Amino acid sequence: MGSGAMGSGAAGGPGHGAPLCPCPSPPPPPPPSAPRCPRGTRRLSETGAGTRRSEGAAGRGGLRAAASLPHIARGRGEEGGGRRSPCLLVALRPRNVEAERERFFRASFAYDPQFEYAEPVPAAVLDKYGAASDRFVAQAIRIIRTVLEKYGTYESFEVATGGRLLSKCQIWSVIRKYMQKEGCVGEVVVQLTDDLLSQAVMMVEDSRPTLAINLAGARQHWLEGMLRHEIGTHYIRGVNNTRQPWHSSEGRKQYSLKPANPTEEGLASLHSVLFRKQPFLWRAALLYYTIERASRLSFSALFQDLEQYVQDAGVRWEYCVRAKRGQTDTSQPGCFSKDQVYLDGILRILRHRQTIDFPLLAALGKVSYEDVNRLKKFGVLEKARIPHFMQDLERYMKQLDHIVTTNGLNEEELEQLLPD
């Protein structure tokens, strides 16, 4: 796995050998005045639907922090006594996923995996994400079919819009340039890995902001979108949040804040596709659809159902595992519905995009778009970070309009779906 505080100077890291091309030199260390937080690992976000084997780096605690990096402060209300719950990302990863994959494929897909977990998945988590919504299924299907009508197959779409897979050195170069644009070189530990449940995940590892990127998803035209999602949205809003009076659980209650999601993930997902020529919301749409179907179907039936949209059996397996994670006996209907938040948040933000103050939404931290106007007078806005791609707000808004048009959405439909 590669590791670095953007970067360590070695793109390959242990087990990958020496790089074949010169890689970026290490950046200067950040200023020492960064806020501090308790040690430990917390998952902040995850991008995409990729699934990698269960013995991944996150599961081994293999995401290593670099020295002299800013800390993301955690409010007192977020700290609890006693034993911490395991990271959700780890708890939901079946430890026997590779063995069950082999068994599933040997059975010609006529088998429902029996997943095992290193620790019991918290009941509160399963209860929270145990029910799927069908509110936006029609829109999800339309987006998926629009992509297939244009490109024929998902695989053709991926190659045509994502471009070629990048080498480690090319990935480091893109990351460094992006960090420079956001003015945060040296602030985030970056890991390159082939063992990840998602395409990318933003974590706090040993009190350091840490971004793990799945090498299998690092494509030429998609990588910067992934960085806009994780760094330009999650990280920047997180840093701004530490300065606000609602940075703790008590503060959120005091100011009667709505949950950060679906705004947080919807905004990040829009930023993933923001400047693509064809900004299709395929991934968010397919995740939404897959989870709704998983709530009604067994694993094997879900796998068969997805064949109409995804021919590649490996890709279908990944989507099914993601939708069924948390389950032990996947012969039963059931889902883990968290990934529906992406399309849900996207559509809500697009519906209200003409009235949302997007730079303020970034500056105020982890808040819902619904709370922005009333929180403005209470927010600490001095020295707030605004993503570089929001600086030209006219261009930013035109890109949001382009996303609406490309995905076959329209204002009337959005207003009917989400009335005031």
Bond preceding residue 262 cis, omega within 30 of 0:
yes
With CA atoms as reference, report the closest residue to 269 among 179, 187, 198, 164.
198
55 belongs to the catalytic site? no
User: Residue 392: how many CA atoms within 13 Å on its side-chain side?
Assistant: 8
| b/e map 141-164, b = 16+ CB within 10 Å | bbbbebbbeebeebeebbeebbee
> Do residues 126 and 326 make contact, with C-beta atoms less than 8 angstroms apart?
yes
With CA atoms as reference, report the closest residue to 2 among 166, 218, 165, 168.
168
Q: Could you give the CA distance from residue 302 to residue 210 in angstroms, rounded to a whole number?
A: 34
Residue 122: CB atoms within 10 A of its CB come to 15
Which residue blocks in 6-160 are alpha helix, DSSP H?
88-91, 97-106, 123-128, 137-151, 154-157
Give the N- to C-terminal CA distance of the chain in Å, as an integer: 48
Report the 3 state secondary structure along 208-222: EEEEEEEHHHCECCC
With CA atoms as reference, report the closest residue to 189 among 217, 210, 220.
210
> Annotated catalytic residue: which of 46, 100, 182, 230?
230
Residue 270: CB atoms within 10 A of its CB come to 27
> Do residues 115 and 99 make contact, with C-beta atoms less than 8 angstroms apart?
no
What's the full length of the chain, in residues?
420
> Do residues 186 and 29 make contact, with C-beta atoms less than 8 angstroms apart?
yes
Q: Could you give the CA distance from residue 3 to residue 298 in angstroms, rounded to a whole number?
A: 39
Residues tagged active-site: 230
